């Protein structure tokens, strides 16, 4: 996909046919244009699901399960991470109850880096101590 302007609006253009499809005998139109304004709401919704605090936490835990040799954060860091996760769940509940998204987003931005730093900072510190 390549960005392009068509009739004064941002579009994404796929020229799969000329680059790959014809060579591999795949049935594909010569080119396809998608208006950015029609595509962005679906991309935003998908990204919101992928980076939702609960989904993000689940993805991190799945990644950690796939890499068992990495040390776990110490007990104090685990407690702080759990507290951050609880705050993020509260923030989400506030959003769903109709709270101002700008305010809730600022709370989430304050909480998320702390959880990530505690998780990864605890590991880095232990590695440095070893």
Q: How many CA atoms lie within 13 A of 36 on its CB side?
A: 12
Tell me: the pLDDT tens digits for 41-94? 998 888 888 788 888 888 888 888 887 776 666 788 788 888 888 888 898 898
Most confidently modeled range among 13-22, 23-32, 77-86: 77-86
Q: In whole angstroms, what is the distance from residue 1 CA to residue 6 CA?
A: 14
**Block residue for tokens 């998320």:** 112
Please, are residues 111 and 91 in contact by the beta-carbon 8 Å criterion?
yes
Q: In whole angstroms, what is the distance from residue 78 CA to residue 61 CA?
A: 13
Break the chain down into helix, strand, coil percent, rounded to 5.
65, 10, 20
């Amino acid at each position: 996909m390549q960005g392009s302007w068509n009739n004064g609006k941002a579009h994404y253009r796929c020229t799969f046919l000329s680059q790959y499809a014809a060579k591999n005998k795949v049935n594909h139109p010569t080119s396809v244009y998608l208006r950015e304004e029609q595509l962005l709401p679906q991309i935003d919704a998908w990204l919101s699901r992928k980076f939702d605090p609960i989904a993000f936490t689940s993805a991190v835990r799945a990644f950690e399960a796939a890499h068992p040799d990495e040390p776990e954060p110490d007990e104090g860091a685990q407690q702080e991470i759990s507290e951050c996760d609880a705050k993020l769940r509260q923030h989400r509940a506030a959003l769903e109850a109709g709270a101002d998204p700008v305010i809730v987003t600022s709370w989430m931005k304050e909480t998320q880096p702390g959880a990530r730093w505690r998780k990864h900072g605890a590991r880095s510190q232990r590695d440095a101590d070893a």
